[in-house]
Amino acid sequence: MENILKKLLKAPWVIVALTIVISAFLFWQMKENSRMETNLDKYMPQEHPAFVFSDQAEEWFGINDGIIVAIENKNGIFNTETLDTLKQLTKRLQKMDEIEKADVTSLYTADNIVGSEDGMDVKRFYKRVPKTTEKINNLKQNVIKNEMVYGRLVSTDTTVTVVIAEIKDDVFTQEFYNEILELVKSYENENIKLYVAGRPIVEGTMALLGPADMKKMVPIVLLVITLVLIIMLRSVKSTLLTMAVVFLSTLWAFGVMAVSGIPIYAVSTMIPVMLIAIGVADGIHLYSHLQLFLRKNPNATKKEGAIDMIQNMWKPVVMTSITTAIGFVSLLTSEVYPIKYFGIFTAFGVLMAMVFSLVLIPAGIMIFGLPKVKKVKSSNSENKLARNFSDWIVNHKSISIFATIAIVAVSIIGMQKIWINSSFLDKFENDSDIVLTDKFINDHFGGTTTLNLILDANGKKDAFKNPEVLKLVDKMQHKVQNDLPVVGNTFSLTDYINRMNKVMNADDEKFNTIPDSRDMVAQYLLLYEMSGDPENLNKVVNYDYEKLNITFQLKSDNSKALNSALEVINSFESDFKKQGIKIKYAGSGYKGLIFTDLILEGQIMSLILSLIIIIVLISIMFKNIKIGFIASVPIIVTAGISFGVMGFLDIPLSTTTALLSSIAIGIGIDYAVHFIEQYRINARKTSDKLIIAEKTMAHSGRAITYNAIVVIAGFMVLLFSVFPPNRELGALVSLNMFTSFIGTVTIMLVLLNISKINFNNKSNKEAK
């Protein structure tokens, strides 16, 4: 490896030219083929049993996510202007190519089940917009009397009504999203205000804000890190070459992503910030060593400086890059696509940053010359701070040991408070339009998040015409809705039967129940099929009445809300089992919940796997298993502190914060590897452990301090992100880098000092 790098120094312009050509090709590929993945279902493993069944159930009952348009008139919706707006908007949505006419539901399309002289009648609430006060009041009374509509399509204060347009996943595009927003806006006036919500709108907003956020963040992080590097390296040439390395590594990562046909997910927008912050580490260590070399050898030529830098630093640079890449590659254990691909391409970018650092920086030195190095009168004065610090740590070992134990103990307490958040809305600001709109609709209706319960009678035909079964379903629906404030509405076949039983008994409220007779249930259903639209029943029950779909509307999409509903529903499992009925779940709400479980499983597997691999790898690198365990101590402590802080601050695990452990391990191990490598070099020169600690702190301590400052500055830029989870990640990673750095120069130094590791077991060739 060393010989190859030295040979490349003979043709620096060739290296630069080849890099530019390949980079130009990848840039073109990125420009032509990059796309943002907006379908949140595509974030999940399609072969997972829960998702396979959910997709099947969605096909059985036509379960699709809906765009919800709320029409508000503070003076009430029962007036000619608002009702006409509702009618016109409904018809416009029905005519859209992306929406099936039958999948648009509103007061204008809804059926009103009423009693008649002949028995039962099913008719529209209105076809022509009522204009007289009498007709408007009559419509209002019909709505209020119909519990299938009142509180579902019209708010209980009658100031808001909704239009729900269900769409299939594969039809939603950014253009369609913009068209919906423009259409809705065109109906607003001084009396009428419209709101748009629903999962497709969340997806569209995320797709819109994600790239915009990346465009904003990248220039900021470039500026911040460039300024920090100039201050630390005190050389514009060194700074520009280091920044060229991270720019190219980022370009290559996204270029290869485009060539591979992998889309950009929301979490992928953090890769540039990640690579820019991480990629400078190699350059910092290379130039830090070069500066020390030039101070000792002020008359050295650029070739001598480049060769010495390669000879002494290629090994730690390669080792740290590999260990960092392993931290990210361990994310492959996750079944969540965004996290998996984030790990792959961030690892690729880290390795490319290593290659560019070892190739382009020496080539740049050969082309542009050595950086100017400030002369120092005395090395003792420069190393005084490092010497004093290392002396204090070595002479007060017990403080570091007990402080570490206390911090870990407190962190374990905090870790027990961690929860997983399945909410996609929580990715946005609390005062953002999409969150406020969602809250507005949740306040007036059952909720924008749906959970579908699928009851399966295992092929027993007409099982859901059995009054005993239907009463159990009705009881469960009331239990869930009454016990849980987060559940706004429930809907199933029982709502149809309750309504029919009531209207067939002179609208007497006491008959708003399931009839005792099986024949009566069958008769009601037959009457509905004859007088109404039988396809409406396809949404709640299959043709043979042996599969039932119950929809629960929730006012929140986070895992706490969903789990609370599941807990109450599952309490009825044994009752349904006695009837020969199985409970299963479907729909986007449930898939989101499974999604969070996969995040947790991936997080645990990633953490364990990366730790094991890194311990083994470092043990092989340094030919001593003790060193592997010692090197892992700072990152284990760091991970513990990080999760402890998350628990105490109520920061949940999400698709974004799930990256934390891999980032902490991948980046934090760099400090340990550089420090141990320098410690080993110094240990071969003297047996005095205090002198070894002082020299190691003066050399690697200086470099990793610079590295920590730059990485922390880079990740702090995420605090400017429009997505709260990104800001949380930026703050937590910055904390991780600080604690990893502190752990390396304190507890790890103490462990090295008290260990009896023999660093002098080098071969004769190495000795020479």
* Residue extents of the structural domains in the chain: 49-203, 213-375
Asked if 340 and 200 touch (Cβ cutoff 8 Å), the reply is no
Alpha-carbon distance values, 424 to 43, 89, 427, 438, 654 (Å): 12, 27, 6, 12, 9
In this prediction the pTM is 0.77
pLDDT at 670: 81
Cβ-Cβ contacts under 8 Å for 622 (sequence gap 6 or more)? 628, 676, 680
Which residue is associated with the tokens 């379960």?
63
- pLDDT tens across 183-227, in order? 999 999 999 999 998 888 887 787 777 778 878 888 888 888 888
Does position 699 have pLDDT exceeding 60, yes or no? yes
- pLDDT tens across 9-27, in order? 778 888 889 999 999 999 9
pLDDT at 374: 64
- pLDDT tens across 617-655, in order? 888 888 889 998 999 899 889 888 988 998 999 888 776
Angle at 414 between CA 411 and CA 418, to 5 degrees: 125
Would you state the CATH architecture of domain 213-375? Up-down Bundle (1.20)
- Ordered DSSP codes for 635-654: HHHHHHHHHHHHHHTTPPB-
Does position 144 have pLDDT exceeding 90, yes or no? yes
- pLDDT tens across 66-105, in order? 899 999 999 999 999 999 999 999 999 999 988 888 889 9
Q: Quickly state the pLDDT bin for 377 (edges 50, 70, 90).
A: very low
H or E segment at 178? helix 174-185
Asked if 27 and 251 touch (Cβ cutoff 8 Å), the reply is yes
pLDDT at 378: 42
pLDDT at 604: 76
Q: Quickly state the pLDDT bin for 492 (edges 50, 70, 90).
A: very high
Strand partners, 451: 552
pLDDT at 764: 38
Does position 382 have pLDDT exceeding 60, yes or no? no
Q: Which residue has the higher pLDDT, 645 or 5?
A: 645
pLDDT at 401: 93
pLDDT at 2: 66
pLDDT at 483: 92
Does position 169 have pLDDT exceeding 70, yes or no? no
3-state secondary structure 48-101: CHHHHHHHHHHHHHCCCCEEEEEEECCCCCCCHHHHHHHHHHHHHHHCCCCCCH
Does position 1 have pLDDT exceeding 70, yes or no? no
Please report, in angstroms and rounded to a whole number, the separation of the first and last CA atoms in the chain: 19
Q: Quickly state the pLDDT bin for 283 (edges 50, 70, 90).
A: confident
Asked if 494 and 474 touch (Cβ cutoff 8 Å), the reply is yes
Give the whole-angstrom CA distance, residue 2 versus residue 307. Answer: 9
- pLDDT tens across 425-436, in order? 888 888 888 889
- pLDDT tens across 362-374, in order? 988 888 888 876 6
Average pLDDT over residues 282-294: 85
Helix 702-716 and helix 271-296: axis angle, to 10°? Answer: 160
- pLDDT tens across 399-420, in order? 999 999 999 999 999 988 888 7
pLDDT at 761: 53
pLDDT at 766: 41
Q: For strand 104-105 and strand 449-456, is the pairing parallel, antiparallel, or unpaired?
A: unpaired
Give the whole-angstrom CA distance, residue 452 versus residue 751. Answer: 55
Question: For residue 12, how many C-alpha atoms fall within 13 Å in the half-sphere facing its CB?
Answer: 15
pLDDT at 536: 83
pLDDT at 155: 94
Asked if 69 and 163 touch (Cβ cutoff 8 Å), the reply is yes
3-state secondary structure 230-278: HHHHCCHHHHHHHHHHHHHHHHHHHHHHHHCCCCECHHHHHHHHHHHHH
- pLDDT tens across 496-550, in order? 999 999 999 888 889 999 999 999 999 999 888 887 677 788 899 999 999 999 9
- pLDDT tens across 444-479, in order? 998 888 899 999 999 899 999 999 999 999 999 999
3-state secondary structure 745-767: HHHHHHHHHHCCCCCCCCCHHHH
Specify whether the backbone of 336 is left (phi greater than 0), alpha (psi in -120 to 50) or beta. Answer: beta
Q: For strand 111-116 and strand 193-197, is the pairing parallel, antiparallel, or unpaired?
A: unpaired
Q: Which residue has the higher pLDDT, 756 or 345?
A: 345
